[in-house]
Structure 1
Amino acid sequence: MIAKAPITMPQVSVLMPFKNTSAYLQECLSSIAEQNFDAWELIAVDDHSSDTSLAILTEWAARDSRIRVYPNRGSGIIPALRTAYAQSCGRLITRMDSDDRMAQGRLLEMASRLEASGSGHIALGLVAYFSDRGISDGYARYERWLNNLTLQGSNFKEIYKECVIPSPCWMVHRRDLDACGAFEPERYPEDYDLCFRFYAKGLTCLPSSSLLHHWRDYDERTSRTSEHYAQNYFLNLKLDYFLKLDRDTSRPLVLWGAGYKGKHLARQLVDKGIHFHWLCDNPKKIGKKIYGRALSHFEVLKEMKAPQSLVTVANEVSQEEIRRFLAVGCQIPEKDAFFFC
């Protein structure tokens, strides 16, 4: 038998919106109930389910007073998170997805590390995707990349590449979540937006080598079906936070790449009236104008004084070539060059 942590540990509020996940809820709820940590409450918010999800949660709540179920005050995950947070009372806050599984020991490890470290920190854990049909190469790469960052606690180092905080596997002090604006901003993708707000407030990621969350992938996942998680939403979010948090307007701004991402960011910069230099290595595009901006060969970077680069080139081999080229000019990734993919 696994020893359980004393109930005197700080109470943890687990926020869990749910919608039509009846096929996975029993497994999800069992993984929470079997934690070796008793001082938790689960605030489950029904986002207008049309299956038996609400009945399942209601039945669990009748057996365990730590589980409370509420209707969503609005529609969608952001209003559901606001509803859950308003009903929570724990000093430590974490999220859970209703189709996933917590690893045994997750709540104890995260709460213990946050208690030892104090406010100003984010507790994280390694994640593992699972699926009945197997995991795609893209998700496998994302899992490896994300876990490598978490092992070092260096998650914010590559924040402009992808979301560096796994949405269902973080824990923070309530005071820090409040300082970051909690779930008030109406901006999607909401997990990435919150990640940027953690970064802006200077929170420190606590490294972890423990697998703490099992992340389910399937066709009906919200991140696969909702327009709020389309690529343009991510690109707009990255650009807005870069301009707010890391842009030095005294330095030339350089955009690398003229594929979909490069063109999308170029369009945004043009619309915002922001001057930039547009670089690529495609002979068919060099010298041509797109959105009224001419593309130049990347060698012109050598003529610029202390430029800031936004790199949208997705090919990993090309990215390494760009990193080597930038290194010659003593440009440091995540300081002088920001990789957007």
Structure 2
Amino acid sequence: MTNEKVSILMPFRNTEAYLRECLDSILQQDYPFWELIAVDDHSKDSSYVLISEYQKSDPRIKLLKNNGRGIIMALRTAFQASSGSLVTRMDSDDIMVPGKLSVMLGALQKSGRGHVSLGLVRYFSAKGISEGYKMYENWLNRLTREGSNFKERYKECVIPSPCWMVYKDDLLKCGAFDTNRYPEDYDLAFRMYEAGLKCLPSENVLHLWRDYSTRTSRTSPDYANNTFLELKIHYFLRHDLDNMRPLLLWGAGNKGKTVAKLLLENDTKFHWVCDNPKKTGKKIYGQPLRPYKDKMNWSDTPQSIITVANSTAQKQIRSYLDARSLTEMTDYFFFC
């Protein structure tokens, strides 16, 4: 393993309670050739003072103030100050597993540029992990074990935001942190896919992801469901919509209605189907809802966006579409 420098980008805001554990986990990494660029996003607690204490004893730590506001500007500030040939991220309330940097770097050096190195993640919380977060952890880790993360890119964010590493020039090809689109980690995942980066499979738990009630992803409107759906529609229309085929939207719940509104805002025509007899035959946003077995919907082999969240219903829909020789991620796309 050559001694390439790894730049660790770490925005922070009011995470004093968790910072020592986070910083100690970085200092204890067996790979020593790193720089930590910690950017204060207008903290009101003693986070900045705490990191400045660590900085005095380790010159690898750089401490900056955010040039603007919010995590995107903080990441942009950190990236502009980075000097490593490789880049990774860290959340200031999380913990690096011992050996994280060396494992991810080793995988990248073996495979070369054009790849993103990943690791498995594990949620932890003083109050226990909810079923929803456990399901996300299991789903994300399954993809990471296979290196097939981008195959399910419209469901949720397929790259663990604090557990990836890339060569700096590959990150620049992706646009790094130049866009102002939230959720920023999900947007970056789409741009990594767009740039043709390949995910390296991993069997190692490398990151401990802390959950608590006031974490940014729980409290900020930048991470609300509608922003995720806006992002999905943006990239679906950009990458996967076939304008020569009809488009079907499955489901008329909250997500289905939001997706319908976004499609209409983007002047994208679609047919709307669901299996709820209370809704079929009616109109929402001026769009009629039809039973999904209506033959007229299948005459031109449409593409489908599926917003139905129920796992049993998803299996039924997948079987129905597969029986018509339709292929996932070409002919149909699960948005949840």
TM bin (shorter chain): over 0.9
**Letter matched to residue 254 of structure 1:** L
2:219 maps to 1:231:
no
Deviations 1:301-338 (A, max 9, x none): 66332211000000000000000000111111112110
Which residue of 2 is the match for residue 311 of structure 1?
306
**Letter matched to residue 317 of structure 2:** I
TM-score under structure 1 normalisation? 0.97
Identify the match of residue 113 of structure 1 among 80, 94, 107. Answer: 107
Which residue of 2 is the match for residue 39 of structure 1?
33
Identify the match of residue 242 of structure 2 among 238, 248, 258. Answer: 248
Structure 1 counterpart SS, 2:22: helix
2:324 maps to 1:332:
no
2:291 maps to 1:270:
no
Which residue of 1 is the match for residue 154 of structure 2?
160
State the 1:127 CA deviation: 0.1
Identify the match of residue 210 of structure 2 among 209, 216, 229. Answer: 216
Paired with 1:248 and 1:178, the residues of 2 have a C-alpha distance of 29
**Letter matched to residue 340 of structure 1:** F
Which residue of 2 is the match for residue 298 of structure 1?
292
Paired with 1:271 and 1:20, the residues of 2 have a C-alpha distance of 37
Paired with 2:313 and 2:147, the residues of 1 have a C-alpha distance of 27
* Identity rate, percent: 58
2:12 maps to 1:13:
no
State the 1:115 CA deviation: 1.0
**Letter matched to residue 67 of structure 2:** R
Identify the match of residue 175 of structure 1 among 169, 172, 178. Answer: 169
Deviations 1:155-181 (A, max 9, x none): 001000000000000000101100010
Structure 2 counterpart SS, 1:212: strand
Which 5+ residue runs of structure 2 have no aligned equivalent?
Answer: none
**Letter matched to residue 138 of structure 2:** R
* Aligned residue runs from structure 1 range 90-129, under 5 A: 90-129=84-123
Deviations 1:47-69 (A, max 9, x none): 11111100110000100000010
Question: How many correspondences in the alignment?
Answer: 335
Paired with 1:248 and 1:175, the residues of 2 have a C-alpha distance of 32
Q: Which stretch shifts more, 150-159 or 262-271?
A: 262-271
* Aligned residue runs from structure 1 range 114-153, under 5 A: 114-153=108-147
State the 1:271 CA deviation: 2.0
Structure 2 counterpart SS, 1:264: helix
Deviations 1:258-304 (A, max 9, x none): 00000011111122221101010011111111111101111126633
2:52 maps to 1:58:
yes
Paired with 2:27 and 2:35, the residues of 1 have a C-alpha distance of 10
**Letter matched to residue 36 of structure 2:** L
Superposition RMSD in Å: 0.9
Which residue of 2 is the match for residue 3 of structure 1?
none
Structure 2 counterpart SS, 1:273: coil
Structure 1 counterpart SS, 2:326: coil
Paired with 1:304 and 1:21, the residues of 2 have a C-alpha distance of 56
Which residue of 2 is the match for residue 288 of structure 1?
282
State the 1:202 CA deviation: 1.1
Which residue of 2 is the match for residue 83 of structure 1?
77
State the 1:116 CA deviation: 1.1
Paired with 2:271 and 2:41, the residues of 1 have a C-alpha distance of 45
Query: Contact conserved, 1:25 with 1:99, CA < 8 A, in 2?
Result: yes
Query: Contact conserved, 1:19 with 1:46, CA < 8 A, in 2?
Result: yes
Query: Contact conserved, 1:252 with 1:304, CA < 8 A, in 2?
Result: no
State the 1:235 CA deviation: 0.3
Paired with 1:36 and 1:272, the residues of 2 have a C-alpha distance of 50
Query: Contact conserved, 1:188 with 1:233, CA < 8 A, in 2?
Result: yes
Paired with 1:327 and 1:61, the residues of 2 have a C-alpha distance of 57
Which 5+ residue runs of structure 1 have no aligned equivalent?
Answer: 1-5
**Letter matched to residue 190 of structure 2:** F
TM-score under structure 2 normalisation? 0.98
